[in-house]
Structure 1
C-alpha cells in the first residue's frame, strides 16, 4: 500500500527562534488556510508568536456520511452528528496516523514533543483529543473549541487503561451553540476529568458554533503558559 500523502499545511513562522510548535485543526468542511484566515479576520492579524510555529493542516477530502456521502475536508467520518452513536473508529485511527507524521516532522526539526500543542475547532478539537489522549500523551497539551467526544468514546476506553501522565485539556464552548450542543462539550469535560485529565472549561454566553476574539485571546494566553520562551 502506498504511503499516505503528506497533509497540506499553512504555516505561520515564529518571529524569532523556533523552539515550540502549535498544530491547529480546522472544523469539518474547512481547510487549514481557511482556519488561519478566519482567525486572522477576528484578530486583524495572524495568531503569531515569538518562538512558536503555528501549523494549520488541511484534512483530505473524503466521503462524509452526514452530507449523504458527498466529499468534504473532514478529519474523519461520522455516522451522524450526535454524541450517543458509535464513533467511526476506522477513519479516526487512519487520520491519527497521518497526523502522527506531522508531529514526527516537528520532532525531526528538533522540537521535543513536550513543546508541541495540538487542538482545533469543532471536529478538529475532537480529532485532537483522540490524537493526544490515545496516542501522544507526552504532548504539551490539547485544546478543543466547540468540540465533543461521543459517549463511550475510544478516548475514554483508552484512559481507563492508562497509568501515565496526561496532557492538560483547555476547552471552550459557546452556550448558544446549536450544532455542537454545550451539554455535549460539558459532558466531555466531566468524563475526561473523571478519568484523570487536568481540564478547564471556558464558556461564552450567546456564542454559537463559532470563534470570537475573547476566546482566541484566552487561548493565546494558555498557549504561552504551556509553551514559554
Structure 2
C-alpha cells in the first residue's frame, strides 16, 4: 500500500475560486498526463472551468494478468477482460483506499464531498463506479466512458441492500467499440438503474474505444449541471 499512497497527479486548475473538483481516471496502460492530453486534443482545449479543479491521477505500475503479468499502469488487476468472470477484489479494494485518500484531501482543502465528481474512461470508469457507489456515495455523481462492471460485480450486491441516496451516473459508450462491448456498458447501466440509481446513457453510433468531441461536450455540460 505504501508504494501506492502518493499517486502522481496532473492537475488543471480552476481559473477562479475553487469550489468543486472532478477526479478523472485514465484507462489501462495510460497516465494522468496522457488522458489530459487526449481530452485536450479532442476538445482543442483543456477540460477547464472557472470554479472546478480537474485532477488526473496516474495508476501505479503493477503486474497485469491480461498482459501475461507484464507491468502496466492499471487501477486494478483483471483475470480477463470479460463481464462474466470474478472481479479481482483485492486490487480493486486497495486502490479504492488510495483514491479515497485523494477524495479526503479535497475535502480537507474545503471542498464538500457533494461538490466532487468521480469518473473515468474504460478501466478508469469501472474504478470510479466502485469508488463512488461502494465507498463515497455522498459525491455529486459518477461518470463512466466506454466502461462496464462485471455482471456479478460486488457493486450490484452492495446496492441491493442500500437505502441511502446514490450518486447520479452519466455513462457514454460507442456502438462500434469492440474492446469493451457496447452491450456490456448498456447492461451495466440497466442493472444500476434497476437498483435505484438515476442514470443517463448516451450512445454514439460510429465511436470505437476512444473519446470524441460530442461525448466530451456532453460530459462538460453534465459536469456544470452537477457542479454549478
The TM-score normalised by the length of structure 1 is: 0.98
Question: Secondary structure at 1:137's aligned position in 2?
Answer: coil
Counterpart Cα distance in 2 of 1:8 and 1:151: 31
Aligned length in residues: 228
Q: Does 1:26 align with 2:26?
A: yes
- The aligned counterpart of 1:173 is 173
- The aligned counterpart of 2:125 is 125
Matches within 5 A, 1:176-191: 176-191=176-191
Question: Secondary structure at 2:200's aligned position in 1?
Answer: strand
Unmatched tracts of structure 1, length 5 or more? none
- The aligned counterpart of 2:43 is 43
Unmatched tracts of structure 2, length 5 or more? none
Pick closer, same or farther for the CA change 1:70–1:3 going to 2, 3 Å: closer
- The aligned counterpart of 2:113 is 113
| Displacement of 1:5 | 2.7
Question: Secondary structure at 1:84's aligned position in 2?
Answer: coil
| Displacement of 1:23 | 0.2
- The aligned counterpart of 1:16 is 16
- The aligned counterpart of 1:164 is 164
Which whole-Å deviations, capped at 9, do the CAs of 1:166-186 have from their partners, x for residues lacking one?
000000000000000000000
The TM-score normalised by the length of structure 2 is: 0.99
| Displacement of 1:4 | 4.1
- The aligned counterpart of 1:63 is 63
Question: Secondary structure at 1:144's aligned position in 2?
Answer: strand
- The aligned counterpart of 2:153 is 153
| Displacement of 1:44 | 1.2
After TM superposition, the structure 1 stretch with the greater mean CA deviation from structure 2, 195-204 or 1-10, is 1-10
